[in-house]
Amino acid sequence: MTQTTADASTAESPHAFLNPRNWKPAKGYSNGVAASGRMLFLGGLIGWNGQQEFEAKDFTGQVEQTLKNIVEVLREGGAGPEHLVRMTWYVTDKQLYLASLRDVGAVYRKVLGKHFPAMALVQVAGLVEDEALVEIEATAVVPE
């Protein structure tokens, strides 16, 4: 599949990114994704390591670890970041997210590349793990 707009994503992806041409360009996400294939559903992942210990206490550090965890789970399913079609971010502090946006964007591109699936961000009152500042659910589709 090909992208519907040139600015939707610059990474190689088998999916079509849906961003209407008459809309202001999406930055860091796509408005929709068309995909077919084997689906992988990732549960809410947080910024702790494989031993369930938080090494990072700061927001950007937890985002980076969460994204690395997503990549690791994708690899277990025979996929990579290019197969992501949707991500839902849950944050405990929207203002902290907005203040960290530049750094978050840098670690996002470092870990996932320039691949921007459909995304939503939701501020929540808290997460199950008290130390967690961010939790991300993801869906990927691997072409068959």
pLDDT along the chain (144 residues), means of 10: 42 87 92 94 97 98 99 97 98 98 98 96 98 98 94
Q: Residue 51 and residue 57: Cα distance in Å, rounded?
A: 16
Distance separating alpha carbons of residues 46 and 135, to the nearest angstrom: 5
Residue 64: predicted pLDDT: 99
The pLDDT, as a whole number, for residue 5 is: 44
The fold of the 16-142 domain, in CATH, is: 60s Ribosomal Protein L30; Chain: A; (3.30.1330)
Q: pTM for the full model?
A: 0.89
State the CB neighbour count (10 A cutoff) for residue 44: 16
User: What's the pLDDT at 11?
Assistant: 61
Q: What local confidence, expressed as pLDDT, does residue 7 receive?
A: 42
Amino acid 60: pLDDT = 99
Domain boundaries, the chain: 16-142
Cα 117 from Cα 140, distance rounded (Å): 9
Contact 91, 97 (CB under 8 A): yes
Give the 3-state secondary structure of residue 38: strand
Q: Give the single-character DSSP code of 142.
A: E
Q: Which two tokens stand for residue 109?
A: 């591109």
Give the pLDDT of residue 1: 38
Output the pLDDT for position 122. 99
Whether the CB-CB separation of 29 and 117 falls below 8 Å is answered with: yes
Position 12 scores a pLDDT of: 82
Q: Can you read off the two tokens belonging to residue 27? A: 């930055």
